[in-house]
Amino acid sequence: MIGYRRVAGLSVPNHLWRAAEQFPYEPTVFVAPPWGAIFTGDSERKQTFAEASATWETMVSTYNELGYTLIELPCGSIAERVDFVRKNLGY
């Protein structure tokens, strides 16, 4: 909620910050960067690549500000990405 409010240019109420601190996710978060080679818009994905990139930057900034450790997924095949996640999770 915090990141998306920021993307929309809205203020973030204090209760959202408190909730993020009180109910955190797992400390390590996998993040998928915008990937121009496969990017496409459709009826469900309405952002342009520039908007998706700006959203990415805001989300990364917000996660970092909240103290999460981010692991960026590599650009590659689905199998390569699954292998990357599994290795990072110790499988």
Tell me the percentage of the chain whose pLDDT exceeds 90: 85
Asked, for residue 69, whether it belongs to a domain, the answer is yes
Q: Which helix (H) or strand (E) holds 71?
A: strand 69-72
Asked, for residue 84, whether it belongs to a domain, the answer is yes
Asked, for residue 1, whether it belongs to a domain, the answer is no
Asked, for residue 78, whether it belongs to a domain, the answer is yes
Asked, for residue 82, whether it belongs to a domain, the answer is yes
Model pTM score: 0.84
What is the structure's pLDDT at 42?
84
Asked, for residue 9, whether it belongs to a domain, the answer is no
Contact between 27 and 68 under an 8 Å Cβ cutoff? The reply is: yes
| Domain with 38 in it | 25-88
Helix (H, G, I), strand (E, B) or coil at 45: coil
Asked, for residue 2, whether it belongs to a domain, the answer is no
CB atoms within 10 A of CB 11: 8
Question: What domain count does the chain have?
Answer: 1
30-52 pLDDT per residue, tens: 999 999 888 887 888 888 899 99
Asked, for residue 61, whether it belongs to a domain, the answer is yes
Helix (H, G, I), strand (E, B) or coil at 80: helix
Lookup result for tokens 């996660």: 63
pLDDT tier at 69 (50, 70, 90 boundaries)?
A: very high
Rounded CA-CA distance 46/40 in Å is: 9
pLDDT tier at 8 (50, 70, 90 boundaries)?
A: very high
- Torsional class of 67: left (φ above 0), alpha (ψ -120 to 50), beta (otherwise): left
